Structure 1
Amino acid sequence: MSLSPTHRLLCACCLIAAWLLLCLWAWRQTRQRHAQQNQAVRDLAAPITNRTILVAHASQTGQAEALAHQTAEALRQGGLPTRIAALGQLNLPLLRTYPSLLIVASTYGEGDPPDSAAAFVDTLMTTRGADALEGLNYAVLALGDSEYPHFCGFGRELDTWLRDCGATPLFDRVEADNADSAALRHWQHHLGLLTGRSNLPDWETPSYRPWRLTQRTLLNPGSQGDPCFHLILTPPDGTDALWQAGDIAEIGPRDARGGTLLPHREYSISSVPTDGAVHLLVRQMHHDDGRLGLGSGWLTYLAQPGDVIDLRLRTNSNFHLPADDRPLLLIGNGTGLAGLRALLKARIAAGHHRNWLIFGERNAAHDWFHREEIEGWSNAGKLQHLDAIFSRDTPSRKYVQHHLLEASGAVRDWVQAGASIYVCGSLQGMAQGVDEALTDIIGVQGLATLRHDNRYRRDVY
Structure 2
Amino acid sequence: MSNVSDNTVLPVELLGKADELIKGLSKNQLVWLGGYLSGLGLQDGHSETAPIEVEEQQSAQTNLTILVGSHSGNSKIVANSIVEQAAANNVKAKVVDMADYKVKQLKEESNILVIVSTHGEGEPPVAAEDLHRLIDTKRAGDLSGVSFAVIAMGDSSYKYFCQTGIDFHERLQKRGAQSLAEPILLDVDFQDHLDDVVSNSLSLFGSKVASASPAKSSDAKIKVHTNSIYQAEVLEKVKLNGKGSNKETYHVELSLEDSGLEYQPGDSLEVYAVNDSKLVKEVIAKLGLDENQLVQVNKEELTLIEALQYHREITVVTLPVVKKLSAYVGESDLNTLLDNIDELDAYLDGRDLLDLLYDFQLELNAQQLVDALRPLVPRAYSISSSQAEVGEEVHLTVGAVRYEKNDRLHEGACSVFLADRIEVEEKVGVRVKQNDGFKLPAEDKPIIMIGPGTGIAPFRSFIQERAEQDASGKNWLFFGDQHFETDFLYQAEWLKYRSSGVLNQIDVAFSRDQEEKVYVQHRLLQKAREIYQWIQDGAYIYVCGDQNSMAKDVRAAFIQILQSEGGLTPEEAEEQLLAFRKENRYQEDVY
Amino acid paired to 1:268? S
Task: Say yes or no: does 1:275 pair with 2:390.
Answer: yes
Counterparts of 1:290 and 1:114 in 2: how far apart (Å)? 54
**Aligned residues between the structures:** 335
The match for 1:321 is 440
Cα separation, 1, equivalents of 2:159 and 2:454: 19
| One of 421, 428, 451 as aligned partner of 2:548 | 428
> Is the 2:99–2:582 contact (alpha carbons within 8 Å) kept by the matching residues of 1?
no
Q: Does 1:453 align with 2:583?
A: yes
Amino acid at match of 2:191: E
What amino acid does structure 2 have at the position aligned with 1:327? P
Q: Report Cα offsets for 1:309-338 as digits up to 9, x if no partner.
A: 111112212211112312111111110000
Structure possessing the higher radius of gyration over alpha carbons: 2
**CA gap 1:23/1:319 in 2 versus in 1, 3 angstroms:** same
5 Å-filtered alignment, 1:349-368, equals: 349-352=468-471, 354-368=474-488
For the structure 1 residues 188 and 5, does the alpha-carbon distance in structure 2 shift closer, same or farther, using more than 3 Å as the test?
closer
CA distance in 1, matches of 2:417, 2:18: 58
C-alpha distance in 1 between matches for 2:134 and 2:514: 39
Alignment of 1:134-145 (within 5 A): 137-140=121-124
| Counterpart residue number, 1:246 | 266
In the TM superposition, what is the alpha-carbon distance from 1:437 to its structure 2 partner?
0.6
Q: Which of structure 1's runs of 4+ aligned residues deviate more than 6 A?
A: 20-26, 60-65
- Give the letter aligned to residue 214 of structure 1: L
- Counterpart-to-counterpart distance in 2, 1:341 and 1:448: 26
Q: Deviations over 1:238-294 (max 9, x none)?
A: 223321111111122222599514212111000011313111111111353522112
Q: Aligned ranges for residues 54-93 of structure 1 at < 5 Å?
A: none
Could you tell me which amino acid in structure 2 is paired with residue 373 of structure 1? Answer: E
The separation in 2 between residues aligned to 1:321 and 1:113, in whole angstroms, is 32
- Work out which of the residue numbers 454, 463, 470 in structure 2 matches 1:344: 463
SS at match of 2:512: helix
Counterpart CA distance in 1 for 2:106 and 2:410 is: 47
Separation of aligned partners in 1, 2:134 and 2:499 = 44
Q: 1:196-207 to 2 correspondence within 5 Å?
A: 202-205=189-192, 207=228
- C-alpha distance in structure 2 between counterparts of 1:359 and 1:450, whole Å: 22
Note if contact 1:284-1:296 (Cα within 8 Å) is conserved in structure 2. Answer: yes
| C-alpha deviation, 1:61, in angstroms | 7.0
- Provide the residue aligned with 1:158 in structure 2: 131
What is the SS of the residue equivalent to 2:497? helix
Check 1:215–1:161 CA distance in 2 against 1; reply closer, same or farther (3 A cut).
farther
Structure 1 stretches lacking a partner, 5+ long: 31-59, 68-104, 119-135, 143-151, 163-178
Query: Which residue matches 1:406?
Result: 526
Contact 1:389 1:399 (C-alpha < 8 Å) held by counterparts: yes
Q: Is the 8 A contact 1:108 1:114 kept in 2?
A: no
Q: Tell me if structure 2 keeps the 8 A contact 1:319–1:457.
A: yes
Higher relative contact order (CA 8 A, sep 6+): 2
Q: C-alpha separation between the residues in 2 aligned to 1:303 and 1:23?
A: 66
Farther off after superposition, 7-16 or 397-406: 7-16
In the TM superposition, residue 6 of structure 1 has moved relative to its aligned partner by 5.7
Partners of 1:108 and 1:393 in 2: how far apart? Answer: 43
Provide closer, same or farther for how the CA distance between residues 414 and 25 of structure 1 changes in structure 2, counting only shifts above 3 A.
closer
Displacement, 1:117?
A: 12
Aligned 8 A contact 1:280 1:338 in 2: yes
**Contact residue 67 and residue 98 of structure 2 kept, 8 A:** no
**Distance in 1, Cα, partners of 2:100 & 2:398:** 43
Cα distance, 1:368 vs structure 2:
0.6
RMSD of Structure 2 on Structure 1 (CA): 3.9
Question: Among the aligned pairs, what percent are the same residue?
Answer: 27
> What do residues 296-321 of structure 1 show as CA deviations (whole Å, max 9, x unaligned)?
12222222222221111122122111
TM, length-normalised to structure 1: 0.63
Cα deviation per residue 1:342-390 (whole Å; 9 max; x = unaligned)? 1111112222361111100000111111111111111222211111210
